[in-house]
Amino acid sequence: MITFEGAAKIYPDGTVAVAGLDLTVETGRTTVFVGPSGSGKTTSLRMINRMVEPTHGTIRIDGADIRDQDPALLRRSIGYVIQQAGLFPHRTILDNIATVPLLLGWNRRKARARAAELMELVGLEASQAKRYPHQLSGGQQQRVGVARALAADPPVLLMDEPFSAVDPVVRAGLQEELLRLQQELHKTIVFVTHDIDEAVRLGDRIAVFRPGGELAQYDAPEHLLARPVDDFVESFVGYDRGVRRLSFFPARQLSLRQDVVFDTEDRVERARDVVEGDGEPWVLVVDENRTPLGWVDAAQLIDKPAGLTLGTLEMAPYGHTFDVATDSLRAALDAAVLSPAGRAVGVDDEGAVLGVVSQEDLGAAIWSVSE
């Protein structure tokens, strides 16, 4: 547990970088500091490993005042990852990762073995061990940065905008990896970002900073999105916070209709009975493995002769699907919006159709989680 008790940083020129922060970072969880430029995120982060000394207040790690600890030793016990990785350009990838273990006095063989193990953990190829940083992509360099920070297995990991210099696709991949690593390692992570989406994705708790180095709100992501404390936080979390919040609710709660799902051998009159029964304007056609093939517009069924099979009709593309077991309501809503039929198709982990969510049911589910 890391506690900030009235911790402040006021520079000699009068700049208030951090104005009296009171905050507890929980052990084994990911806490994200988010806020506009200049709001004191980096300063707060660096106060934890004494790269910045507070001018007021106290910071403790598991109860111990960090002022009583040797700064160099403290820093070796805390992993630190920054934007563009900050790797040593003239050291190989393996030696970059082995830096802290070597500083801690491990023998070279043990340090390199540990570095090789970490390369695998963060998803780097063993063949890259002997390369130099400039021979890797930006995303790979960030992985090296993470591996290096984890090398001595520190309980605490500080990450200052580690993924902001890579493109959105690579960034999403790195976020995914960090979530996976954290599930395995349970580090106490403090992660700084400008990006509220990244914060919501990674954080167990989110601290929103406002200009002037003040803490505006400290909350679980779903609470932050549901109940921003004031106009500043509300505008910072964005106008689409309602949709974003749906990612915290499982799609599993949706009811799935099977009666509008047909296979290619089913006859038009069967489908017609269903759509005429309750006015559903579309039916979904699947193959023998229940893989979706496409939507048939109900209007097409009206004048077709009985006996014709659905596989012979024109179909609109089925669009996107959602995984009923693992996806969120947000993914289901997205699938509906992206479907030509305006309806979401729920599938199992093999892509077989489990059912279709009607707009009424999707609307009702969204309503039931809104306040």
Ligand X SMILES: Nc1ncnc2c1ncn2[C@@H]1O[C@H](COP(=O)(O)OP(=O)(O)OP(=O)(O)O)[C@@H](O)[C@H]1O
Q: Which is nearer to ligand X, 209 or 262 (CB)?
A: 209
The stretch near ligand X (CB under 6 A) out of 39-47, 116-124, 138-146, 279-287 is 39-47
> Which tokens is 277 given?
């029964």
Query: Shortest gap between Cβ of 364 and ligand X (angstroms)?
Result: 41
Q: Annotate 113-129 with b (16+ C-beta within 10 A) or e (fewer).
A: ebbbebbebbbbeeebb
Q: Which is nearer to ligand X, 155 or 211 (CB)?
A: 211
The stretch near ligand X (CB under 6 A) out of 22-30, 34-42, 116-124, 311-319 is 34-42
* 47 close to 18: Cβ distance less than 8 angstroms: yes
Q: Is 39 in the site for Mg ion (CB under 5 A)?
A: no
Q: Which is nearer to ligand X, 40 or 355 (CB)?
A: 40
* 20 close to 43: Cβ distance less than 8 angstroms: no
Query: Shortest gap between Cβ of 192 and Mg ion (angstroms)?
Result: 6
Q: Is 88 in the site for ligand X (CB under 6 A)?
A: no
Q: Which residues within the stretch 191-210 sit at the binding site for ligand X (CB under 6 A)?
A: 194
Residue closest to 30 by CA, chosen among 307, 237, 195, 221: 221
Residue closest to 84 by CA, chosen among 146, 7, 150, 151: 146
Please give the Cα distance from 71 to 314 (Å, whole number): 71
The stretch near ligand X (CB under 6 A) out of 8-16, 174-182, 215-223, 323-331 is 8-16
By CB under 6 A, the count of residues binding ligand X is: 13
What is the SS3 string spanning 222-273?
A: HHHHHCCCCHHHHHHHCCCHHHHHHHHCEHHHCCCECCCEEECCCEHHHHHH
> Which tokens is 192 given?
């700084």
Residue closest to 6 by CA, chosen among 51, 44, 46: 44
* Identified binder of ligand X from the candidate list 4, 25, 32, 40, rule CB under 6 A: 40
Per-residue contact track with ligand X, 47 to 76, x per CB under 6 A? ------------------------------
Query: Shortest gap between Cβ of 178 and ligand X (angstroms)?
Result: 19
Distance of CA 215 to the CA centre of its chain: 22
Q: Is 42 in the site for Mg ion (CB under 5 A)?
A: yes
Q: Give residues in contact with ligand X (CB under 6 A).
A: 11, 13, 15, 17, 35, 37-43, 194
Applying CB under 5 A, the residues found at the interface with Mg ion are: 42
